[in-house]
A and B are shown apart, each in its own frame.
Chain A
Amino acid sequence: MIKKVLIANRGEIARRIIRTCKQLGIQTVAVYSDADQNALFKKDADEAYHIGPSQVQQSYLQLDSIIEVAKQTNADAIHPGYGFLSESPAFAERCREENIIFIGPEADILRLMGSKIEARKAMIEAGVPVIPGTDRAVGSAEEALRFAEKIGYPVMLKASAGGGGIGMEIAHSADGLKKAFENNSKRAASFFGDGAMFLEKHIQNSRHIEVQILADQHNHTIYLFERECSIQRRNQKVLEEAPSPSISEQLREQLGRTAVIAAEAIHYSNAGTIEFLVDESGKFYFLEMNTRIQVEHPVTEEITGVDIVKEQINIANNQVLSFKQEEIAIKGHAIEVRIYAEDPIRFFPSPGKITALELPEGKDVRNECAVTSGDTVTPFYDPMIAKLIVYGENRSEAIDKLEEALRQFNIEGIKTNILMLQEIITYEAFLKGNTQTSFLSKYYQPNSGGK
């Protein structure tokens, strides 16, 4: 059984993982970079070790240094969180070689699902619907143009090895596609070491709905229902909720069952998320699978009562799942908003020193916050500094609580997107649950309505 976990991550997710470990009586080891010398997650852990300079390539992506700390501290498992090394087959393999449990799926599953093209093939084989697109990497702009002619514009261009919105762009014309291909391919090559691009039909007026699954190593897979994540900026999520306000019971069950089929087809184990695009008619398509815990996992926890990190550890311990499908039910409604250190108008990053910070309080208010007053938000990492999650008996109660909690949320010294969040939750389209991935670009006009 796992007695000591090293958390190969930082910020709010490191704190989140440490919290569950403490509840389970598991010792925790944090690793940190120069920039995180005074970070809260470092103080939360039982032990903390410096692994390198602020740049991620020299710290949080430094597999050797992290493994070294795990060995020296006798950690028997590593939780990778999200981002960084969480989807690295090389890291999972290395853990296995060193006899350290990687809290995640096997390396070959990470490799399979990490390649959009391979993942797509596997899903077609499993009978899961996919978006019309290239079934292999496209190496040049000319090739991309030829393919786009065939499936018709608009098309979505994606880096084969990408994630988190990097290397993605919609093109409406041949000219646009040529430019988008050159920019994004170059970018993907420098970010991921792989400039291969993937092209698919862009589904207009679509929603982003994803299904949380849990799978143990004893052939049990269950789904914990869906999350609606359509409100995005720069292809990154801003607000997520569960359950989705827009789907029928029938579609809910269909999505859940399809997600289970997808996970079973690849013999998946760990917590995972199957992302779908759902069009206006309710037709859905596999988008990708995230083989790790997700930023927005708390909304699922709030409506199902399942601690997903605890289940991940349970699965890694080779135990059977704590729940059967029929024991999982949706109770109430939860909404999460991501607090970004960024200009709420231009979405530009806003690093700096936080001079004051007050978190909202109250029953049904959950804060997952990485920072405190006096901390400096550095330019080295993702701009997300906190998540606010509220729970209500129903959606309108949850929205009321969110409004109140956002009013209480106070961060000074840096710019944040709180003003934007306060504004968008008053929009008619949001109140009606009518949110599509184009929601922000369509409705959010910061200059007209900013408070």
Chain B
Amino acid sequence: MEIKASMAGNVWKITVQQGEAVEEGQDVVILESMKMEIPIASEEKGVLKEWKVQEGDFVNEGDTIAIVE
């Protein structure tokens, strides 16, 4: 499953490392834009297989941030 950005902004914090297990609904990354922080959660339980971004990167709405399997 792909985790996508729900808004355009900067990747502020990555809270789960590659290879770690994630629960459904667990925040994996926090985006920051226009003085607002938006946590993005994984929609499924699984393992964080790959990060497509790094902290500090800019993402557009809909961009893939990470892949959970």
Contacts and interface: CB of A to CB of B under 8 A. Distances in A.
Interface of A: 164, 166, 234, 341-343, 346, 348-352, 379-383
Contacts of A348: 6-7, 33, 36, 38
Interface string B1-15: 000001111100000
List of 6 A-B pairs having minimum Cβ-Cβ separation, nearest first: A349-B34, A379-B33, A349-B33, A348-B7, A383-B34, A379-B9
Interface in B4-53: 6-10, 32-36, 38
A382 B8 contact: no
Nearest to B58: A379
B35 A382 contact: yes
Contact of B35 (A166, A343, A350): A166
Interface residues of B, number: 14
A343 B34 contact: no
A351 B35 contact: no
A343 B61 CA distance: 11
> Considering residues B10, B32, B34, B60, which has the most beta carbons from chain A within 10 angstroms of its beta carbon?
B34
Contacts of B35: 164, 166, 381-383
Contact of A350 (B8, B10, B38, B58): B8
12 contacts: A164-B35, A343-B7, A346-B6, A348-B6, A348-B38, A349-B7, A349-B9, A351-B34, A352-B60, A379-B32, A379-B58, A383-B34
Contacts of A341: 34
Nearest to A414: B8
> Considering residues A164, A234, A349, A381, which has the most beta carbons from chain B within 10 angstroms of its beta carbon?
A349
A295 B35 CA distance: 17
Contacts of A381: 34-35
A304 to B, nearest CB: 31
Contacts of B7: 343, 348-350
> Considering residues A234, A348, A381, which has the most beta carbons from chain B within 10 angstroms of its beta carbon?
A348
Interface of B: 6-10, 32-36, 38, 58, 60-61
B67 to A, nearest CB: 23
Contact of B9 (A164, A166, A351): A351
Nearest to A415: B61
A355 B10 CA distance: 22
Nearest to B61: A350
A349 B31 CA distance: 11
Contacts of B36: 234, 348-349, 383
Nearest to B8: A351
B27 to A, nearest CB: 12
A234 B36 CA distance: 10
Given A348-B38, A383-B36, 7 more contacts: A166-B35, A341-B34, A349-B7, A349-B36, A351-B33, A352-B60, A379-B34
> Considering residues A166, A379, A380, A381, which has the most beta carbons from chain B within 10 angstroms of its beta carbon?
A379
Nearest to A341: B34
B10 A379 contact: yes
B29 to A, nearest CB: 15
B17 to A, nearest CB: 21
Contacts of A164: 35
A356 to B, nearest CB: 19
> Considering residues B32, B38, B61, which has the most beta carbons from chain A within 10 angstroms of its beta carbon?
B61
Contacts of A382: 34-35
A233 B37 CA distance: 15
Contacts of A346: 6
A372 B10 CA distance: 24
A176 B8 CA distance: 30
A339 to B, nearest CB: 13
A28 to B, nearest CB: 26
Contacts of A234: 36
A448 B21 CA distance: 38
Contacts of A166: 35
A348 B36 CA distance: 8
A166 B32 CA distance: 14
Contacts of B38: 348
